[in-house]
């Protein structure tokens, strides 16, 4: 006699999946919608009043600090993916945003000529593909969690490395 595994529950039947429980106050959605609307006139004001050029006293520090943050986010994404952690959804999403911002500012702050060509090549060849990969990682993990309530297991290679480490 064989015992079949219980059928998987649909996502709506998994506790905490589907429509979000009110883990945040009812005020959060209206607040964020209002803040997005308030930002529109601010954007228009900046578009009219900001100079085309500005000199920054901390330009190098800003870029180096941002790239350190990006490296930490990418490393954390890799580590959480390695561990099969459900937190990879959040960190991979943040990594996506950081990569898109990096590409945007690399291109928009590059001087004309060869530096602009290099910035565009880096954005299109490295930063945007990495952002898409990060978004795919987050999306796949999120779908897996919604279907099963748990994060996907790490790849077979990672599991084999872990077994090898424990055996030595």
In a domain, 6, yes or no: no
Residue 143 resides in a domain: yes
**Cα separation, 73 vs 95, whole angstroms:** 6
How do residues 84-106 score in pLDDT, each as one tens digit? Answer: 888 999 999 999 999 999 999 99
First-residue to last-residue Cα distance in the chain: 39
Q: What's the rounded Cα separation, in Å, for the pair 126 and 120?
A: 10
- Domain assignment present for 92: yes
Number of domains in the chain: 1
pLDDT, tens only, 99-138: 999 999 999 999 999 999 999 999 999 999 999 999 999 9
Q: How many CB atoms lie within 10 A of CB 25?
A: 9
Domain assignment of residue 50, yes or no: no
Residue 87 lies in a domain: yes
For 144, the domain range is 68-160
Tens-digit pLDDT profile for residues 16-44 = 545 555 567 889 889 999 999 999 999 99
Query: Is 12 contained in some domain?
Result: no
| 3 state SS of 141 | helix
45 found inside a domain: no
Q: What is the pTM of this model?
A: 0.73
């Amino acid at each position: 006699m064989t015992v079949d595994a219980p059928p998987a529950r649909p996502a709506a039947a998994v506790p905490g999946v589907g429509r979000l429980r009110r883990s945040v106050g009812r005020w959060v959605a209206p607040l964020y919608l209002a803040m997005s609307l308030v930002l529109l006139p601010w954007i228009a004001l900046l578009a009219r009043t900001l100079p085309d050029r500005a000199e920054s006293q901390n330009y190098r520090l800003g870029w180096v600090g941002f790239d350190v943050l990006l490296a930490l986010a990418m490393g954390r994404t890799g580590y959480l993916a390695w561990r099969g952690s459900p937190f990879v959804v959040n960190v991979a999403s943040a990594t996506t945003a950081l990569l898109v911002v990096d590409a945007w500012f690399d291109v928009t702050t590059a001087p004309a000529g060869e530096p602009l060509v290099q910035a565009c090549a880096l954005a299109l060849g490295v930063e945007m593909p990495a952002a898409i990969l990060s978004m795919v990682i987050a999306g796949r993990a999120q779908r897996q969690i919604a279907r099963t309530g748990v994060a996907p297991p790490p790849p077979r290679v990672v599991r084999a490395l872990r077994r090898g480490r424990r055996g030595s």
